[in-house]
Chains A and B, each alone.
Chain A
Amino acid sequence: MNKLRVAFYSLTSCEGCQLAFLECEDRLLDILQQVEIVRFREASSYEGGELDADADVAFVEGSVSTAHDESAVRTIRMRSRRVVAFGACADLGGVNAIKNRQGNEAAKERVYGPYSSWIHTSDVRPVSAVVPVDFTLHGCPVDKDELVRYLYALAVGRKPADPTAPVCFECKLRENICLFHKGGTCMGPVVRGGCRAICPAYGAGCDGCRGLAPDPNVALMRTLLREKGLNSEAIRRRVDLFNASAVPEDLRRELTGYA
């Protein structure tokens, strides 16, 4: 059987999702029985061109925020049979997209001060806004077990499962005490799970790194957050952490209460 040819690429990101793959440690040898890694800059000493490989599956980490990102992802798409949006930045725009709400010039000015004219950046977009995406691995960072299941599914020619149950459901299965009962707040009821509620399990409220679950009751979410003392601005910040440009405008208005 031919091994699945897999490439890892990164656009604008912290590269932490690729690290998640490397952290599979004791399973890496098993995985390599099934897949051949053809490009993986973060993990290799290969010094040739990055985008000159043909792959069965390209895991693309990061969002598109520069002209270079955009041309790279187009090249990747052309040379890869399947493209996976790999992690929250690629899936949603992620943390990078916070700047979309501030304006490019203002953001550049704030970060780079007098050198801002050296920087060329566009609005941050998820990979799917630029090229067609076949599958998505959600999360910041991606879940290792889910990644391994994905690789095995792709290796046997199956579409990977993409669970949509909200974080709340998995949080209950894990026997966590609800953060709302502890006096905190959490976006778990309206956010897509698959993470096994890892943040609530360690006492941190969900910030929505996997995007909204299907059919989210955003009006009820807003009511709950308001009851806990979050005003529109606080809710907006919470939403924008990962979903600044990933939540449809009408839902965003309903969620934050902003007109």
Chain B
Amino acid sequence: MSDAPPDQGDYRPEIATATEVRPLTATERLFHLILPHRALGHLPGQFVQVSLPGIGEAPISVSSSFTRTSGFDLCIRRTGNVSEALHRVKAGGRVGIRGPFGCGAPLEKCMGQDVLMIAGGLGLAPLRSLVQYICDYRDRFKKVTLLIGARTPETLLFADEYNAWRNEGKINIEATVDTAKKGWTGSVGLITNLIPQIEIWPTSTVVVACGPPIMYRFVMRKLQQRHIPDDRIYLSLERRMKCGMGKCGHCQINDVYVCLDGPVFRYDRLAALPEAVS
């Protein structure tokens, strides 16, 4: 496919090179990708369509902040055709990229505020872009807290980066796992159990959560018990976008296209979209 950057709205991907491929867990790998002619130019929370020729295309949130390098990171869980094939790509390999798409995380809304990030499972992959951004512009934010939930200690993503986020980023990190064998010193239990334990100023905190739909149902209950207004809570939604331009209809929730208006939505807006977190 063409080396020249395609027009906006095209289905022809640009060909990025994977300069580094690193296994994170048994099922997730982190790819560092570089485009030939440009930086991706994305904001935290935006996604790209990543593809391999003849295999298919899948929407994947970007896992790194534009403040770090000219390339970008994608964290890929092995679940379907495209992700399986991507796991066979080695350093030096080439993958197709379209995007970035979506409107990303509410950076302006977070500035000057306490930020509470809640990441369930693979949800940490998109949130890592926000974490990195916050670390790089730490003085623009007040108290920053990151709650992380995973099934087991082995499935925690980016565990080797938590120390840096804590120390250099001055981010308060709490991680919990559903089940753990001996040797795990952190919490055991659901991520929702962490919410009552942390200090929250409801009117000066912005919450950004990313995780599976089931997590949102319980997390929302706990956040509302802590009196955080709905217009200060943002959830990132997963949909199967085919085009990324508000055309194909696959990601439509009521009258909203996740690929254009999301994937990060303010909760009070979602209340008017019954299909959002069904």
- Please determine if A and B sit in direct contact within the complex, based on CB atoms under 8 angstroms apart: yes
In Å, the complex CA distance between A158 and B54 comes to: 9
- Please classify how large the interface on chain B is, using the bins under 10, 10 to 19, 20 to 34, 35 or more: under 10
Chain B min CB distance to A129 (Å): 27
Chain B 37-55 interface mask (CB, 8 Å, partner A; 1/0): 0000000000000000011
User: What is the bound-complex CA distance between A156 and B52, given in angstroms?
Assistant: 11
Check if B85 is an interface residue, CB within 8 A of chain A: yes
Q: Does B81 contact A (CB under 8 A)?
A: yes
Hey, which chain B residues are within 8 Å of A156, CB to CB?
54-55, 85
Residue A152, interface by CB 8 Å: yes
**A contact residues around B84 at 8 Å (CB):** 157-158
The answer to whether B56 touches A158 (Cβ under 8 A) is: yes
User: Which residues of B are found within 8 Å of A158, using beta-carbon distances?
Assistant: 54-56, 81, 84-85
In Å, the complex CA distance between A157 and B52 comes to 12
Q: Helix, strand, loop or mixed for chain A's interface? A: loop
- Bitwise, A152-175 to B at CB < 8 A (1) or not (0) is 100011110000000000000000
Min Cβ gap A155→B in Å is 9
Q: How far is the CB of B87 from chain A (nearest CB, A)?
A: 11
The answer on a CB contact under 8 Å between A157 and B56 is no
Smallest CB-CB separation from B56: which chain A residue?
A: A158
Q: Which B residues are CB-close (under 8 A) to A152? A: 54
Assembly CA distance A156 to B84 (angstroms): 11
A-B contact list, 16 entries, CB within 8 Å: A152-B54, A156-B54, A156-B55, A156-B85, A157-B55, A157-B84, A157-B85, A157-B88, A158-B54, A158-B55, A158-B56, A158-B81, A158-B84, A158-B85, A159-B80, A159-B81
In addition to A157-B85, A158-B56, A158-B81, 12 A-B residue pairs with Cβ atoms within 8 Å of each other are A152-B54, A156-B54, A156-B55, A156-B85, A157-B55, A157-B88, A158-B54, A158-B55, A158-B84, A158-B85, A159-B80, A159-B81
